Amino acid sequence: MLRKRSILSFTVLLASAASMAVAAEAGEEPPSATKIWNGIYTPSQADRGKAGYLKFCASCHAPDLGGGAGRGPALLGESFMQDWRNSSVNALFVKMRDGMPANYPQSVTSEVKIDVLSFLLQVNGFPSGVGELKIVEKDLSDILIVQKGEQKVPNFALVRMVGCLAQGQHKSWVLLKSTEPIVTKEEVATPALLKGAVDGPLGTLSFELISVSGFKPESSIGQRVEARGLLYREGNRNLLNLTSLNSVGSSCN
């Protein structure tokens, strides 16, 4: 069952801590942060994507991807990175698949949209590779849109992760074997967004969960879950204030 909770209370709760905290320490990038720089599309796919962009997208976003006044946002350079930095390639694809072109998303096939996505990556400086980008959501979900050398996801970012739900001490709740947090724009996961969380390897992280009671966690103990919420990390303590919690598997192996 999908549920939603405001993140405002958590922001207020940790505001004083944030004012005293130093900038997030640079650390080793999660594995998915390097994949986009290994080349995830081919030049020919990007060429097809350019043709698709000019035919279906340029009227709103402009032929030079600079955006249109009062219409589509710019899809190039810092404007693109501000919107999609630390998001997964799947999040961008789902946005295009379900919402573009505006008002007529079904008028363009998913195959054309994945090609257009490849073109967007190309014009934003991400390298091509030897294989085309395929519509496999669990694979797209594991590729982050990051610039080289970027640090881990910052505190107070809205993120998603997958792990095993367990009960900790004093009736607390924890997410074990968690994947690295990935920035998301959606506080609540839709069924389409959850598809990528069903399969794939788990991680090695643990997170304390806050504001859990409204999600009826007892029914998901020991299960693989997708969790979304506001991230806060300090020292060895990892916190996630939940905005969404969904079981995506009956066992957690």
Task: Break the chain into its structural domains and give their ranges.
Answer: 8-27+152-249, 33-140
**Residue of 247, 240, 177 lying closest to 215 (CA atoms):** 247
pLDDT tens, per residue, the chain with 253 residues: 333 444 444 444 444 333 333 323 333 344 466 889 999 999 999 999 999 999 999 999 999 999 876 678 999 988 898 888 888 899 899 999 999 998 899 999 999 999 999 999 999 999 999 999 999 988 898 898 988 766 567 888 899 999 999 988 888 999 999 988 888 888 998 888 887 778 778 888 999 999 998 898 998 999 999 999 999 988 888 999 999 999 988 778 7
Helices (H), the chain: 8-20, 32-35, 43-56, 58-61, 77-84, 89-99, 110-123, 137-140, 191-194
Write down the pLDDT at residue 236.
81
pLDDT computed for residue 252 by the predictor: 81
- Kindly report the CATH class assigned to 8-27+152-249: mainly beta
> Residue 56, SS3?
helix
Task: State pTM to two decimals.
Answer: 0.57
Residue 230 pLDDT: 94
CA distance from start to end of the chain: 22
Q: Which two tokens stand for residue 46?
A: 């990007």
Q: Can 8-27+152-249 and 33-140 be said to share one CATH topology? A: no
* Tokens 């519509």, residue located: 135
- Count CB-CB contacts under 10 A for residue 78: 10
Which helix (H) or strand (E) segment is 165 a member of?
Answer: strand 158-167
Name the CATH topology of 33-140.
Cytochrome Bc1 Complex; Chain D, domain 2 (1.10.760)
